[in-house]
């Protein structure tokens, strides 16, 4: 066997070994990036989603607060509306309504810098993981869309949770109350189902939903709300407090989970459309139990809702 033949054989062996040593290519989840129409029970395109949003009075965009992917999809939707010439207001859970006057004053001066606008609205940068919301605010400012601070303040929410004040709210059905209690228990580490604080904390959560709805109604025209997914559900959250809930489009950004490959394997209740995304790798938020909304140590802007 001549030298050239040996080199050829050795080269082939090395190539095979390198190929065998290559890590397996991860498989993309079958739902990732797809949009499911909950009522029509079918997948739709991004263009169809943007068209639906362009015709809605209220567009409610649910999110996992710490998901960069969710914020990117929200930006896509806002850009889709802008491309269609739709003028909206951008309302945000991340801004407390008590700071609206200062925010509006800065916008009226023609300020389009997102940092300056976040300062005016006193956005809690640490609690909301700034700059995750910077691009959304920047786009709204550049398009001269009004920014609306939509959330109940921490002070108001805490007074409700402590029983110092009681908001006037429409009643919740037993099913809605049970679902809200489960949401609060899941979202507030250390708060047990049997806790006497649970009912008051749920009341504070409902008051936040009602305040957001009030802010959306006050806009008087098309408005997009950025909020946690639990707040945009029509079965128990913001939409039920709106003046015209039938004109709301609730879009849930949901992370895919393991082997759950069919839309109906997910909790879709209260959403009109669901946009599936890759999950975010996050630590156990309850590894160190937290005392919940009634405790002064926990900022109201802690991204758990």
- For the stretch 73-101, pLDDT in tens is 999 999 999 999 999 999 999 999 999 99
Q: CA torsion 84→90→94→97, rounded to 10°? A: -170
Provide CB contacts within 8 A for 221, sequence distance 6+.
57, 87, 88, 89
> Reduced to 3 states, what is the DSSP secondary structure of residue 40?
coil
pLDDT attached to residue 297: 33
pLDDT attached to residue 185: 84
Residue in 289, 265, 282 with CA at minimum distance from that of residue 30:
265
Q: Report the distance separating Cα 12 and Cα 237, nearest Å.
A: 63
25-277 CATH pick, 1.20.210.10, 3.40.50.2300, 3.90.550.10, 3.40.50.11550: 3.40.50.11550
Angle of helix 174-187 versus helix 198-219 axis, rounded to 10: 100
pLDDT attached to residue 19: 39
- For the stretch 260-289, pLDDT in tens is 999 999 999 999 999 999 999 988 766 654
Name the pLDDT band for 156 (thresholds 50, 70, 90).
very high
Give yes or no for residue 12 having a pLDDT over 80: no
| Burial track 178-187 (b if 16+ CB lie within 10 A, e otherwise) | ebbbebbbeb
pLDDT attached to residue 14: 41
Name the pLDDT band for 184 (thresholds 50, 70, 90).
confident
Question: What is the pLDDT averaged over residues 31-51?
Answer: 98
- For the stretch 220-234, pLDDT in tens is 999 999 999 999 999
Helices (H), 57-153: 68-83, 100-108, 114-120, 134-142
Residue in 271, 294, 284, 263 with CA at minimum distance from that of residue 59:
271
Strand 223-228: give its sheet, edge to edge: 42-44, 35-37, 273-277, 248-255, 58-63, 223-228, 89-96, 147-151
Give yes or no for residue 102 having a pLDDT over 80: yes
Name the pLDDT band for 192 (thresholds 50, 70, 90).
confident
Report in angstroms the alpha-carbon separations of 265 from 256, 257, 258, 262: 10, 10, 11, 6
Supply the pTM of this predicted model. 0.84
Give yes or no for residue 201 having a pLDDT over 50: yes
Domain ranges (residues) in the chain:
25-277
Counting residues of the chain whose pLDDT is more than 90, the rounded percentage is: 76
Residue in 79, 104, 109 with CA at minimum distance from that of residue 224:
79
Name the pLDDT band for 43 (thresholds 50, 70, 90).
very high
Instruction: Extract the tokens encoding 250.
Output: 């609730």
């Amino acid at each position: 066997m001549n030298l050239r033949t040996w080199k050829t054989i050795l080269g082939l062996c090395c190539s095979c070994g390198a190929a065998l040593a290559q890590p397996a290519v991860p498989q993309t989840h079958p739902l990732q990036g797809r949009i499911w129409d909950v009522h029509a029970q079918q997948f739709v395109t991004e263009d169809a989603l943007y068209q639906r949003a362009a015709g809605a009075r209220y567009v409610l965009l649910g999110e996992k607060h710490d998901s960069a992917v969710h914020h990117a999809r929200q930006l896509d939707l806002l850009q889709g509306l802008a491309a269609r010439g739709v003028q909206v207001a951008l309302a945000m859970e991340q801004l407390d309504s008590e700071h609206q006057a200062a925010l509006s004053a800065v916008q009226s001066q023609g300020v389009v810098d997102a940092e300056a606008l976040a300062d005016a609205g006193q956005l809690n940068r640490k609690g909301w993981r700034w700059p995750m919301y910077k691009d959304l605010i920047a786009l709204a400012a550049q398009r001269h869309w009004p920014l609306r601070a939509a959330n109940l303040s921490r002070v108001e929410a805490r007074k409700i949770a402590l029983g110092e004040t009681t908001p006037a709210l429409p009643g919740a059905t037993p099913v809605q109350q049970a679902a809200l209690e489960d949401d609060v228990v899941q979202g507030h580490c250390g708060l047990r189902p049997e806790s006497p604080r649970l009912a008051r904390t749920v009341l504070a959560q409902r008051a936040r939903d009602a305040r957001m709805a009030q802010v959306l109604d006050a806009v008087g025209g098309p408005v997009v709300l950025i909020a946690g997914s639990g707040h945009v559900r029509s079965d128990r959250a913001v939409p039920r407090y709106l003046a015209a809930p039938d004109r709301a489009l609730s879009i849930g950004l949901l992370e895919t989970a393991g082997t759950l490959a069919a839309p109906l394997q997910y909790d879709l209740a209260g959403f009109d459309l669901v946009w599936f995304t890759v999950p975010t790798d996050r630590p156990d938020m309850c590894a160190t139990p937290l005392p919940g909304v009634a405790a002064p140590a926990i900022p109201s802007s802690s991204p758990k809702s």
